[in-house]
Amino acid sequence: MLRTRIAVSVAAAAAGLAVLTACSGAETAQPVIAPAAAGGTGGGQLANGQVGNAAPASNESKLVVADVANVGQVITDQNGMTLYRFDKDTAKPPKSNCDGDCAKAWPPVLATGDVQVQGVDKNLVGKVTRSDGTEQVTVGGWALYRYAKDTKAGEATGQGVGGAWYAANAKGGKAGQAASEAGVVKLSASNIDGLGEAIVDQNGMTLYLFQKDTKKAKTSACNGDCAKTWPPVLSNGKVELQGIDSKLLGSIKRADGTEQVTIGGWPVYTFSKDLKPGDANGMGVNGTWFVIEPNGCKVGTTPSSTANQAPADSGAGSSSNSGSGGTTY
């Protein structure tokens, strides 16, 4: 059951839906942001929009577990620099999906010989061959990286970047997820360049609604491959809101049994091609995916007093593996 720190219960959220305003059918022209380049896979740009420079290759590979402020125990290299893992990689089998500009911002930890360990189980350490033929160190199957914006030992400024980069713990898992914070979803209102106010998650990633869903639907129309491209915002128990009316909060049960957050009756999603906070590359994709505003409407619409608005069929598009296309509303 969802709840917020301002004592929002599911019952209250359900009652609130009865007084929700609908989104106006008279819509303004939708600002569409150019989609992310197909070749990029891993957040190659830094927060300031510049591409980082890869650190010089080291002649020694050493993994040391150390305490990092506000994160906890993490794997560091021989110089005390925090090492990270990338959610878009795979551990079984091990594979790195961070190349090109991504690898400049997130330099891979290359294996140049036997890897020494301190505080890490040697049996968990391995190597994966990258697309350029070099070998990268893995722990628990997860490839390890540095972050170009970390400038000294003990920093972990890459933690949570793009909702996909996390400091690695001694087993190759994500460091810094305290039990009290596990499963907590934090949604807030934020200004997105070129779009205005939108809802973002705890990592600053833009949230979307899908118009092949229906408002107040009991399930999501985005599953399978669609849900890989447009990951649903899930909750294991708690949702915290900032700048969003608690009456708009709700949830639905997905086909796989997980619980997805809804705002204004719309299930909400992130977009896998948004690589850093403030990106909105999914805006307008196939005319069915739109950034969602704090009022529960898609960007570019205004609340209407009409509780049940008739859909306007655009007659556009067919479905695709990304879940895009089809009738828009």
Which residues on adjacent β-strands are paired with residue 252?
260
Could you tell me the residue ranges of all domains in the chain?
Answer: 10-33+194-304, 62-167
DSSP H or E run through 16: helix 10-17
The residue among 274, 309, 316, 267 whose CA lies nearest residue 292 is 267
* Confidence category of residue 8, pLDDT binned at 50, 70, 90: very low
pLDDT surpasses 60 at 6: no
pLDDT surpasses 70 at 48: no
List, for residues 220-270, the tens digit of each pLDDT value.
999 999 998 999 998 877 899 999 999 999 999 998 888 899 999 999 999
List, for residues 140-174, the tens digit of each pLDDT value.
999 999 999 999 999 999 988 877 899 999 999 98
List, for residues 188-214, the tens digit of each pLDDT value.
999 999 999 999 998 889 999 999 998
For residues 70 and 118, is the Cβ–Cβ distance under 8 A? no
Please give the pLDDT value at position 97.
Answer: 95
Structure tokens at 267: 């299930």
Structure tokens at 325: 């296309």
Q: What is the C-alpha to C-alpha distance for residues 175 and 141, in angstroms, rounded to an integer?
A: 15
List, for residues 64-101, the tens digit of each pLDDT value.
999 998 888 999 999 999 999 999 999 999 999 999 99
Q: What is the C-alpha to C-alpha distance for residues 231 and 267, in angstroms, rounded to an integer?
A: 11
Report field, pTM of the whole predicted structure over 0.75: no
Cis peptide before 232 (omega within 30 of 0): no
Candidate from 46-60, 110-124, 131-145, 213-227 with smallest mean pLDDT: 46-60
